[in-house]
Amino acid sequence: MKMVYMFPLLMVILCNTGYHLIMKSLPNNTNPFLGLAATYGAAFIGSILIFLLTRHTIFAQDNGNVCPMNYLLGLVLIGVEGGYILMYQAGWQISKASVVSSIVLTVILFILGSTIFKEMITMDKAVGMIFCIIGIMFMNR
């Protein structure tokens, strides 16, 4: 497989691992949304630096435009990040929080993918969804 295909997957896996370790380690005495402001400040600076370093590489697809969806994504991320912080502060185990939320999200995206984006529903995918739901039941026993 080409590196341009695998690199993003490895990046997501490695960064998500660090993400959940850091999220679980955040102190409970800080307002989660004030902490997110600091987090997004660091993400802003890091994103600008990475953009400057990669704008002339095979990963760059810069056409000079930022679309309204970029701003909407920023607003949605507040809920994702804040939700994980609040889950961990409420006592969710690191071994369950991401798995349960990811499985539920997978089922939701399966339905949305087939209805909105007309993605094909196959028997294998349907069986996979059933296993996802069974997995949630086992994770929460």
Report pLDDT digits (tens) over 40-69. 999 999 999 988 888 776 666 666 678 889
18 CB-contact burial (10 Å; exposed 0-12 / middle 13-18 / buried 19+): exposed
Q: H-type helices in 26-93, by residue range? A: 32-54, 68-89
What per-residue confidence (pLDDT) applies to 140? 80
**Whole-number average pLDDT of the chain:** 89
85 CB-contact burial (10 Å; exposed 0-12 / middle 13-18 / buried 19+): buried
Please state, in angstroms and rounded to a whole number, the distance separating the CA atoms of residues 125 and 141.
Answer: 25
Ramachandran angles phi, psi of 38, nearest 5°: -65, -40
Ramachandran angles phi, psi of 53, nearest 5°: -80, -25
- With a pLDDT cut of 70, the percent of the chain lying above it is 94
Mean pLDDT comparison of 6-15, 35-44, 90-99, highest-scoring range: 35-44
Place of tokens 């539920």: 104
pLDDT band at 139 (very low <50, low <70, confident <90, very high): confident
What confidence tens digit (pLDDT) does each residue in 105-129 have?
988 999 999 999 999 989 999 999 8
Please state, in angstroms and rounded to a whole number, the distance separating the CA atoms of residues 110 and 125.
Answer: 9
Please state, in angstroms and rounded to a whole number, the distance separating the CA atoms of residues 30 and 138.
Answer: 33
Mean predicted confidence (pLDDT) in 69-73: 91
* pTM, to two decimals: 0.82
